[in-house]
A and B are shown apart, each in its own frame.
Chain A
Amino acid sequence: EIVLRQSPVTLSLSPGERATLSCRASQSVSICLAWYQQKPGQAPRLLMYGASSRANGIPARFSGSGSGTDFTLTISSLEPEDFAVYYCQQCSNSVTFAQGTKVEIK
């Protein structure tokens, strides 16, 4: 099973700041990686797929990069609605999610 680990667990930032979230895989997943956003009481929302492609309707302030084992989700300037939990997910070998990173208001 491919294990994904996200860092940091919690990211405390202010609106307008840049957020950088990391996802590391225990073995190469090529670019078969997605990012999701989940807010309390809501379903997850697909943000990025193929490591760097934005899903439909996702603002340009969200960007993804990486390949192999190391991936990054960047939010260039945090909006109030961006404070949430973010998960990465791999699809190279079955499906696994990481444990998530909570982006909270500082």
Chain B
Amino acid sequence: EVHLVESGGDLVQPGRSLRLSCATSGFTFDDYAMHWVRLAPGKGLEWVSGISWNSGTIDYADSVKGRFTISRDNAKNSLYLQMNSLRAEDTAFYYCAKDTHSSYWYYFDYWGQGTLVTVSS
């Protein structure tokens, strides 16, 4: 059975940093691209970032480009999101999601339960 478990969410002040992690199991991690998607209060889903199976292709939403960095460790079956210069508008549940393909972005067939990031002074 596929499992994705996010961790690292917290209450942080504007301008600070946070690192999210996603531990996975139940599938061959290095066969698939992975993503971070967020859900802000009162808003819809927003794709944040994606990374291909070998980290050769990485992409970000314009809203986080230059501030967030996605990475993965295939030996540990884990996905990460380094979030710097956090803003109030980054407040959201952050979901880790598995792609159906390996090298670019298609559909997200498994999701974690999310981790809450709150940016506030």
- Asked if chains A and B come from one complex, the reply is yes
Q: Do residues B95 and A97 form an inter-chain contact, with CB atoms below 8 A? A: no
- The answer to whether A43 touches B45 (Cβ under 8 A) is no
Residue from the list A46, A55, A95, A98 in contact with B50, Cβ < 8 A: A95
* Contact residues of B: prevailing secondary structure: strand
B113 touches A97 (CB 8 A): no
Binds A, one of B7-15, B17-25, B102-110: B102-110
Q: Are A97 and B44 in contact (CB under 8 A)?
A: yes
User: Is A67 interfacial (CB 8 A cutoff)?
Assistant: no
B44:A43 contact, CB within 8 angstroms = no
State the CA gap A42–B112 with chains docked (Å): 9
Contacts of B113 in A (CB 8 A): 42-43
Structural contact, B112 and A36, CB atoms closer than 8 A: no
Interface residues on A, range: 20 to 34
* Residues of chain A from 37 to 58 with CB closer than 8 A to chain B in the complex: 38, 42-46, 49-50, 55-56
Q: Using an 8 Å CB-CB cutoff, how does the interface string of B99-121 with A read, 1 for contact, 0 for none?
A: 01000011111011110000000
The interface on chain B, measured as residues whose beta carbon lies within 8 A of the other chain's beta carbons, has a size of 23
A89 touches B107 (CB 8 A): yes
Q: Does A84 sit within 8 A of B, measured CB to CB? A: no
List the count of A-B residue pairs having beta carbons below 8 Å apart.
Answer: 61
CA–CA, A98 and B43, complex, Å: 10
Most chain B beta-carbon neighbours within 10 Å: one of A1, A34, A98: A34
Pick the contact of A100: B35, B44, B111 (CB < 8 A). B44
Residues of B within 8 A of A (CB): 35, 37, 39, 43-47, 50, 59, 62, 95, 97, 100, 105-109, 111-114
Given contacts A34-B108, A43-B95, A43-B112, 20 further A-B contacts (CB under 8 A): A34-B107, A36-B45, A42-B113, A43-B113, A44-B45, A44-B95, A44-B111, A46-B109, A49-B107, A55-B107, A85-B44, A87-B45, A89-B47, A94-B59, A94-B105, A95-B50, A97-B37, A97-B44, A97-B47, A99-B44
